[in-house]
Amino acid sequence: MLLKKTFIFTLLAMFAGGTLLAQNFKYIGASKCKMCHNKAPKGEQYNVWLKGPHAGAMKSLSSEKSMEIAKAKGIADPTTDAGCLKCHSTVGHIDAKLVASIKIDEGVSCESCHGPGSMYKGVSVMKNRELSMKKGLILPTEEVCVTCHNEESPTYKPFNYEEKVALMAHPDPSK
Ligand code: HEC
Ligand code: HEC
Ligand code: HEC
Ligand code: HEC
């Protein structure tokens, strides 16, 4: 009886905390963010990302170096291996059920750092930071980066947040 009560309370707490709702947040892909986040006066985040280190993360998996790493590990094709995709593509990093329209070739896309965009992408939500965050937006800190930048990476380099974030920053200069 006591167990049953505890179970119901836990379930209620999950509803209240939005834990179940979070499953409705899906990944929509960078082209959707591009519509609003690619204007030069506001920092053209899409172009900065495209030229930065993350958008090409899938291409690296077909490089010679990648093939060498894969061979040493007994992996036939790193571009389809779940163990490589889990850090080199947003799609490989998430539960397949949460894929709405994001593509695997986007590599490490906006939503790996900013959270799944399906519910915050509307302009009236986006203009309200608090509401955006309730609907899945993340303003990332080092914690997000180290889900990939860690010793599980076969080419791991020590990760200094301040230094690394400067290499991929895309601030809005109008703010
Ligand atoms: C319909 C237009 C639109 C779309 C689509 C959109 N955004 Fe936004 N976003 C905005 C607006 C407007 C703001 C408010 C700040 C500003 O004026 O730039 C904003 C703010 C942000 C911020 C800063 C939040 C803050 O409070 O500092 C982030 C991060 C962000 N968007 C990421 C994304 C990502 C990632 C996507 C795609 C999944 C996306 N946005 C899609 C319009 C949009
Ligand atoms: C989903 C996994 C993932 C997340 C999250 C992630 N990265 Fe990366 N990052 C990568 C991969 C994979 C590469 C290598 C891309 C390539 O060259 O193929 C990379 C490369 C880089 C590079 C260039 C290589 C280097 O080490 O100098 C920088 C800088 C970087 N990331 C910074 C960051 C920062 C800062 C964050 C957090 C705000 C972050 N990354 C979050 C996966 C990720
Ligand atoms: C735990 C996350 C993670 C996993 C798993 C992972 N990578 Fe990476 N990879 C990264 C990050 C982060 C970088 C950026 C450099 C660094 O710090 O290692 C990177 C960089 C690379 C690079 C570019 C290295 C350079 O400096 O030129 C290659 C090639 C690569 N990875 C291949 C692979 C292959 C092949 C696999 C699967 C066997 C794999 N990675 C698995 C996170 C990962
Ligand atoms: C590797 C992680 C990473 C990726 C990928 C990434 N961002 Fe960001 N983004 C950040 C970080 C870190 C900040 C700074 C957060 C802060 O100011 O608290 C940021 C800030 C922003 C801001 C706010 C800028 C400002 O000065 O107000 C916008 C808008 C934004 N990102 C949009 C995007 C869009 C659109 C994409 C994809 C095209 C993208 N980001 C990809 C990590 C990332």
| Residue pair 90/108 in contact by the 8 Å Cβ criterion | yes
| Residue pair 38/44 in contact by the 8 Å Cβ criterion | yes
Using CA positions, which residue lies closest to atom 12 of ligand 1? 127
Compute the distance between CA of residue 121 and CA of residue 130 in angstroms, rounded to an integer. Answer: 14
| Residue pair 116/98 in contact by the 8 Å Cβ criterion | yes
Ligand 2 shell residues, CB under 6 Å: 53-54, 56-57, 60, 87-88, 93, 108, 112-113, 140, 144-145, 147-149, 157, 164-165, 167-168
Each residue's pLDDT, cut to its tens digit, for the chain (175 residues) gives 455 555 555 555 555 444 556 668 999 999 999 999 999 999 999 999 999 999 999 999 999 999 999 999 999 999 999 999 999 999 999 999 999 999 999 999 999 999 999 999 999 999 999 999 999 999 999 999 999 999 999 999 999 999 999 999 999 999 9
Can you say whether the dihedral through the CA atoms of 41, 46, 51, 52 is positive or negative? positive
* Res 96: pLDDT: 94
* Res 24: pLDDT: 86
* Res 80: pLDDT: 97
Q: Does 26 contact ligand 4 (Cβ within 6 A)?
A: no
Compute the distance between CA of residue 121 and CA of residue 137 in angstroms, rounded to an integer. Answer: 9
